[in-house]
């Protein structure tokens, strides 16, 4: 009997080894199909289990029960060719012997694959129908490649898909109208292709959708009624050729980007009751009539762009603007009359553009009244013509009806009467979100924040003091991690087993509890893959709205692999990062900084950028900490006390971030000594460095020579700004 069990054990071990070997062979075949990208060079001399391979910034392989479930690779062959004609391009695409059909065939043999991301690898050719054989996929991203032709209709058979992203390719056919079978789909993105035809009506039947992005294509015709998509938060159809009237939108919509199309007619009054709408862009269309007054007073609206249409008439004198409205553009229309007082705001809290109209104001350049009068006259003439046409048609119909009834009575033949059903559009006002009017002028969500902050992301959790004391063993010294400018740090473990970092922060000013909660709730909504996530907080000093608070505990995700600075130090050679790893981390930080600067209006600046505040997780992915502290650390009050305007202070803190990013770039080249001496180090020590100490990677050519104050500033500011904008 013992020999039998021994035989079973050997058989089981052999089968597991066989599965691992088979999966490994498939990955090696995929590497061959992709023509041995540098990101997969690690497979050359790797003899271990690939399922235990540590994730990197450009390669992730995950397994479950010895089966590959996740395969993500990001290359450097960006699809930015304007005249791609469907053939291989040396240096841009894979070679002319590449077969996308063979690649997909090999991928389908990874039967447990749930996540597949092949980005910027130079893959070219039509996407094969057999892609549907990846039936277990939940996430598919083939962005920034050279795929063309039609999106295969068989893709609608991948019923487990939750995210489908084909951005930045060259698909040039119509979108299949069978996508409604993807009942679990939440994100659908076909940005930056050459897709034509109509917007598929089947998309309106995917009730699980939260994001739809079809911008930068050649779609035409009608944009259908989207009101059935109750979970939709982001709609982006910019730069197409859609030429219908604007449809009814879902009540929960947060971001609507409809610019640079051919939309006509008036802006529907229904847009004025979208209580969650934060970002609306209708610019560069052919919209007419007077914009609904309610648009300007939506409870959440922060960005409203109606520029370059043919809007006419006059805005109400007592127009009300929402408290969060930070940007309004009604320029280059044909509006007349006085500019409402809420749009004539001289402060820096609201940017208003109204030039190119016929408004009675001495501000931005306006046209003569005749320019806009013709438009209003034509509009009145059209209304009169339409009214006359309606009356004539109604009279004719009545005459025909009377004539028909007379004939029917004469023939004594019963007929059914026709009932006329008049549909009434019932618009229900959603209650306001309950956000206090004390919300910061700097906390107006647009774009990425709207997208990331509304896809099921919970609001900031309120921890009790007892929970934090239990997590840190009453803030025991063994849990103490250090103390910085923004308070003491403790490591903790929640009841769920999750490790967290708790920051004890003493405020210089006592806020009302409601005010502080608004500020903290704003911080908690800044979600990005390269930001340390704020999980919640605990406010010490009371729970009533009228009480004051001087101390707060912030609970963050725990990032286990130390900070970037310690990985630059030569005192720990085994931890020093390679140049490729440093570059990947700099790219991650640039993306985080770009998000903070452009994801909100105005951006989140003064983020204390330095190598100590760049944390690395177990996969060496960079996460920025200490961001946004100025929101609750009195930075704004200090600047106002110095007499600086909000705009000038924002520009100064923006330049601080860019300047500090320049020091991070420099430390990545020469080591962490710079952070201790700052600009004094640059001026006094760098010019005297011997050339032989600068390394052999071209660093000596960058740092030697004449290093003076202005050139240092220019290099840091210019290069940092360029890298942050270009990479992110």
Low-confidence ranges of the chain (pLDDT < 50): 3-19, 412-458, 543-546, 635-649, 674-676, 687-716, 728
* CB 205 within 8 Å of CB 181: no
- How far is Cα 724 from Cα 666, in angstroms, rounded to an integer? 15
Pair of tokens at residue 472: 């840190």
Provide CB contacts within 8 A for 577, sequence distance 6+. Answer: 567, 568, 585, 620
Q: Which CATH superfamily hosts domain 561-634+647-675?
A: Transferase(Phosphotransferase) domain 1 (1.10.510.10)
- pLDDT for position 170: 93
Provide CB contacts within 8 A for 635, sequence distance 6+. Answer: 606, 629, 653
- pLDDT for position 12: 39
Angle at 476 between CA 470 and CA 482, to 5 degrees: 115
Question: Which residue's structure tokens are 């509890």?
Answer: 513
Bridge partners of 501, per DSSP, are: 491, 556
CA neighbours closer than 13 Å in the CB half-sphere of residue 26: 22
Angle at 615 between CA 610 and CA 617, to 5 degrees: 160
DSSP state at residue 162: S
Provide CB contacts within 8 A for 646, sequence distance 6+. Answer: 348, 349, 441, 602, 636, 639
CATH architecture of 264-375: Alpha-Beta Horseshoe (3.80)
- How far is Cα 358 from Cα 128, in angstroms, rounded to an integer? 55
Pair of tokens at residue 87: 């053939």
Rg (CA), the chain: 31
Select the CATH number that applies to the domain covering 20-173 from these four: 2.70.98.10, 2.30.130.60, 3.80.10.10, 3.40.50.300.
3.80.10.10
* CB 191 within 8 Å of CB 212: no
Where in the chain are the domains?
Answer: 20-173, 264-375, 458-558, 561-634+647-675
Pair of tokens at residue 694: 């600068």
* CB 563 within 8 Å of CB 613: yes
How many CB atoms within 10 Å of residue 400?
Answer: 10
Three-class SS state of 64: strand
CATH architecture of 458-558: 2-Layer Sandwich (3.30)
Omega of the bond prior to 602 within 30 degrees of 0, cis? yes
User: What are the E-state strand segments in 232-353?
Assistant: 234-236, 241-242, 255-257, 264-266, 279-281, 286-289, 303-305, 310-314, 327-329, 334-337, 351-353
* CB 606 within 8 Å of CB 653: yes
- pLDDT for position 373: 77
**In terms of C-beta density within 10 A (0-12 exposed, 13-18 middle, 19 or more buried), how is residue 682 classed?**
buried
Three-class SS state of 699: helix
Cα distances (Å, whole numbers) of residue 701 to 397, 492, 570, 586, 706: 87, 47, 22, 21, 11
DSSP state at residue 300: T
Dihedral sign of CA atoms 63, 64, 66, 70 in order? negative
Closest CA relative to residue 23, chosen from 48, 51, 57 = 51
Alpha carbon 597 to chain centroid, angstroms: 13
Bridge partners of 691, per DSSP, are: none
Topology agreement, domain 20-173 and domain 264-375? yes
**In terms of C-beta density within 10 A (0-12 exposed, 13-18 middle, 19 or more buried), how is residue 21 classed?**
exposed
Pair of tokens at residue 116: 């597949």
- pLDDT for position 628: 81
- pLDDT for position 710: 41
- pLDDT for position 675: 46
How many CB atoms within 10 Å of residue 544?
Answer: 9
- How far is Cα 470 from Cα 474, in angstroms, rounded to an integer? 6
Encode pLDDT of 440-458 as tens digits.
333 333 333 434 444 444 4
């Amino acid at each position: 009997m013992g020999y039998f069990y021994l035989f079973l054990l050997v058989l089981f071990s052999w089968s597991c080894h066989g599965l691992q070997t088979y999966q490994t062979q498939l990955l090696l075949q995929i590497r061959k199909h992709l023509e041995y990208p540098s990101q997969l060079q690690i497979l050359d001399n790797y003899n271990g289990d690939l399922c235990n391979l540590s994730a990197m910034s450009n390669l992730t392989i995950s397994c479950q029960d010895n089966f590959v479930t996740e395969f993500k690779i990001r290359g450097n062959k960006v699809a930015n060719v304007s005249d791609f004609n469907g053939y291989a391009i040396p240096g841009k695409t894979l070679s002319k012997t590449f077969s996308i059909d063979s690649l997909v065939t090999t991928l389908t043999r990874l039967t447990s694959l749930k996540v597949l991301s092949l980005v910027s690898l130079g893959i070219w050719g039509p996407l094969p129908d057999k892609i549907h054989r990846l039936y277990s996929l939940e996430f598919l991203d083939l962005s920034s490649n050279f795929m063309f032709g039609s999106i295969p209709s068989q893709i609608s058979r991948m019923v487990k898909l939750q995210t489908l992203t084909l951005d930045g390719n060259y698909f040039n056919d119509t979108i299949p109208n069978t996508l409604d079978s993807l009942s679990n789909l939440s994100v659908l993105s076909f940005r930056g292709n050459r897709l034509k035809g109509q917007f598929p009506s089947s998309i309106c039947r995917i009730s699980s959708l939260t994001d739809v992005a079809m911008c930068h294509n050649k779609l035409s015709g009608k944009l259908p009624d989207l009101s059935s998509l109750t979970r939709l938060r982001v709609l982006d159809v910019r730069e197409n050729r859609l030429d219908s009237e604007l449809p009814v939108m879902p009540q929960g919509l947060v971001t609507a980007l409809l610019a640079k199309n051919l939309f006509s007619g008036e802006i529907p009054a229904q847009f004025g009751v979208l209580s969650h709408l934060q970002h609306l862009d209708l610019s560069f269309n052919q919209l007419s009539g007077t914009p609904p007054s309610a648009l300007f007073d939506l409870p959440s609206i922060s960005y409203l762009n109606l520029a370059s249409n043919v809007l006419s008439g006059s805005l109400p004198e007592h127009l009300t603007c929402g408290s969060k409205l930070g940007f309004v553009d009604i320029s280059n229309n044909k509006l007349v009359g006085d500019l409402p007082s809420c749009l004539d705001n001289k402060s820096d809290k609201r940017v208003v553009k109204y030039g190119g109209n016929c408004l009675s104001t001495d501000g931005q350049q306006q046209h003569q009244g005749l320019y806009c009068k013709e438009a209003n006259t034509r509009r009145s003439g059209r209304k009169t013509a339409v009214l006359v046409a309606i009356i004539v048609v109604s009279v004719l119909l009545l005459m025909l009806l009377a004539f028909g009834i007379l004939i029917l009575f004469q023939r004594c033949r019963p007929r059914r009467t026709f009932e006329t059903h008049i549909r009434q559009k019932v618009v229900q006002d959603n209650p306001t979100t309950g956000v206090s009017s004390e919300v910061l002028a700097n906390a107006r969500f647009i774009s990425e924040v709207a997208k990331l902050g509304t896809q099921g992301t919970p609001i900031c959790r309120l921890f009790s003091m007892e929970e934090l004391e239990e997590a840190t063993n009453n803030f025991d010294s063994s849990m103490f991690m250090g103390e910085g400018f923004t308070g003491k740090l403790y490591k903790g473990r929640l009841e769920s087993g999750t490790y967290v970092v708790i920051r004890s922060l003493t405020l210089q000013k006592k806020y009302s509890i409601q005010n502080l909660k608004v500020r903290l709730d704003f911080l908690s909504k800044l979600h990005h893959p390269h930001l340390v996530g704020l999980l919640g907080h605990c406010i010490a000093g009371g729970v009533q709205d009228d009480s004051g608070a001087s101390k707060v505990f912030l609970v963050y995700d725990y990032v286990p692999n130390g900070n970037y600075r310690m990985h630059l130090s030569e005192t720990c050679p085994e931890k020093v990062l390679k140049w490729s790893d440093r570059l990947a981390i700099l790219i991650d930080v640039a993306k985080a900084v770009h998000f903070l600067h452009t994801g909100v209006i105005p951006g989140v600046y003064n983020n204390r950028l330095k190598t100590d505040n760049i944390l690395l997780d177990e996969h060496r992915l960079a996460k920025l900490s200490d961001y946004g502290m100025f929101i609750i650390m009195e930075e704004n009050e200090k600047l106002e006390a110095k007499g600086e305007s909000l705009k000038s202070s924002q520009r100064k803190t923006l330049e601080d971030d860019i300047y500090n990013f320049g020091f991070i770039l420099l430390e990545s080249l020469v080591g962490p000594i710079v952070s201790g001496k700052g600009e004094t180090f640059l001026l006094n020590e760098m010019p005297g460095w011997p050339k032989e100490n600068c390394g052999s990677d071209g660093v000596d050519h960058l740092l030697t020579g004449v290093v003076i104050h202005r050139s240092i500033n220019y290099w840091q500011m210019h290069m940092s700004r360029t890298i942050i904008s270009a990479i992110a």
